Amino acid sequence: MHKILSKEKLAPKIYRFTVEAPPIASSRKPGQFVVLREFEEGERLPFTIVDSDPEAGTIDLIIQAAGYSTQRLCALDAGDTILDILGPLGKQTDIENYGTVACVGGGVGTAVIYPIVKAMKEAGNYVITLNGARSEDFVILEEELEEVSDELIVTTDDGSYGIEGFGSTVLQKMLEEGREIDFVVAIGPVLMMRAVAEVTRPFDVGTIASLNALMVDGTGMCGGCRVTVGDEVKFACVDGPEFDAHLVDFEEQVAKLGYYHEEEDECRMHKLPHELEQEKA
Ligand code: FES
């Protein structure tokens, strides 16, 4: 059992949880994730570890109430418990001193990119962070990212805050203007990561994308996170979650986006009345 020590609302339907998990807190590395199960029959859900405090024995997770299971999780509060948390899993991000690194985070992917920005900065890189969100209300971790980045650029799709548009477009402009960028990390929606890969390809800038949003069990057993990278079939949960974005078959990933809608609808039909109430709130 893992106790939730605190819960903070970051944006509509997006929460930051601090959870007790001492062994994970002391051994996790940037880019790694955990798989948690809220209750015995619950779905196994992967989440990247955003931060940790080895002394306090806690890890921070940012969870967006998107499907049935994440809505249940987001209804939990400080003092509640999570049945089990497995991790740290996956390979850690290749942190090196590349020179100038651009980290492009989109939506809740910004939570995933935060520990990478921090580690890239600590490794001596000049870090430009592009924090993209749908609108002002959905901009998360702005202060935290500002602290660990050399430059922080916020973009919103509707222009309600920061620069109007996408991180990929801002990055393209920078590269076209001759800005020297040695390495790019893109984490967010599949379509956004595909766009970043296409922007950096002609400039031959090494780019990685994190595909952990596509996992189901996170242990290499279900095959749900299969991804074609170059000519090879890989599993994001054990071989990733990060891969060379120029080799990832993003079309295959885009085709997978609608896979689980039927199961989600089925789950919603079995909701308890208080759960439906919480969802409306
Ligand atoms: S998530 Fe199931 S095999 Fe990777």
* Host H or E run for residue 87: strand 84-89
Q: CB of 227 closer than 6 A to ligand 1?
A: no
Determine the Cα–Cα distance for residues 142 and 155; give it in Å rounded to an integer.
Answer: 11
Query: What is the pLDDT, as a whole number, of residue 273?
Result: 39
Beta strands 226-229; 232-235: pairing state:
antiparallel
Q: CATH 3.40.109.10: does it fit domain 2-89? A: no
**Euclidean distance between CA atoms 207 and 184, whole angstroms:** 5
Please give the pLDDT value at position 214.
61
Which pLDDT does position 262 carry in this prediction?
46
**Which residue ranges make up each domain of the chain?**
2-89, 100-256
| pLDDT value for 120 | 95
Q: Parallel, antiparallel, or unpaired: how do β-strands 84-89 and 33-37 relate? A: antiparallel
| Single-letter amino acid, residue 24 | I
Which of 79, 86, 77, 64 lies closest to 10 in space, CA to CA?
64
pLDDT of residue 143: 92
CA-CA distance, 189 to 25, in Å (whole number)?
27
Is the beta carbon of 215 within 6 A of some atom in ligand 1?
yes
Expressed in angstroms and rounded, the spacing between residue 233 Cα and the centre of ligand 1 is: 12
Report CA-CA distances (Å) from 88 to 113, 219, 252. 16, 11, 27
Ligand 1 nearest atom to the CA of residue 221, by list position: 3
- Label residue 60 exposed, middle or buried (CB < 10 Å: 0-12, 13-18, 19+): buried
User: Which residue, by CA, sits nearest to atom 3 of ligand 1?
Assistant: 220
* pLDDT confidence of residue 258: 59
23 CA from centroid of ligand 1 (Å): 23
CB of 86 sitting under 6 A from ligand 1: no
**Radius of gyration from C-alpha coordinates of the chain:** 18
The topology (CATH level 3) of 100-256 is Rossmann fold (3.40.50)
Residue 219 exposed, middle or buried by CB count within 10 Å (0-12, 13-18, 19+):
middle
What's the CA-to-centroid distance between 26 and ligand 1, angstroms?
25
Q: Verify whether ligand 1 is closer than 6 Å to residue 221 (CB atom).
A: yes
Q: Can you tell me the distance from the alpha carbon of 221 to that of 194, in angstroms, rounded to the nearest whole number?
A: 26
Q: Which residue's CA lies nearest to atom 2 of ligand 1?
A: 222
Cβ of 165 closer than 6 Å to ligand 1, yes or no, is: no
> Mutate which of 33, 228, 237 to test ligand 1's pocket (most atoms within 8 Å of Cβ)?
237
CB 179 within 8 A of CB 188: no
Instruction: Give 107 Cα–ligand 1 centroid separation in angstroms.
Output: 23
Model pLDDT, residue 277: 54
Helix intervals (H) in 105-235 = 109-122, 142-148, 167-176, 190-200
Q: Would you state the pLDDT for residue 176?
A: 95
**pLDDT value for 218:** 74
Atom of ligand 1 nearest to the CA of 216: 1
Q: Is 222 in the pocket of ligand 1 (CB under 6 A)?
A: yes
To test the ligand 1 pocket, which listed residue (35, 217, 256, 260) has its Cβ within 8 A of the most ligand atoms?
217
Copy the structure tokens of residue 105: 């985070």
pLDDT (tens, 9 = 90+) of the chain, 281 residues, equals 899 999 999 888 889 999 999 999 999 988 888 988 888 888 888 888 888 999 999 999 999 888 888 899 999 999 999 999 988 988 888 899 999 999 999 988 898 899 999 999 999 999 999 999 999 999 999 999 999 999 999 999 999 999 999 999 999 999 999 999 999 999 988 889 999 999 999 999 999 998 865 667 777 888 888 889 998 999 888 888 899 999 999 888 888 765 544 444 444 444 433 454 555 55
Tell me how far the alpha carbon of residue 88 lies from the centroid of ligand 1, in angstroms: 15
Cβ of 176: how many Cβ atoms within 10 Å? 11
- CB of 253 closer than 8 Å to CB of 214: yes
Regarding the beta carbon of 216 and ligand 1, being less than 6 Å apart is answered: yes
Strand bridging mode 100-106 / 126-133 = parallel
Query: Which atom number of ligand 1 is nearest to the Cα of residue 236?
Result: 4
Residues 6+ apart with CB under 8 A from 220: 235, 237, 238
pLDDT for the residue 236: 87
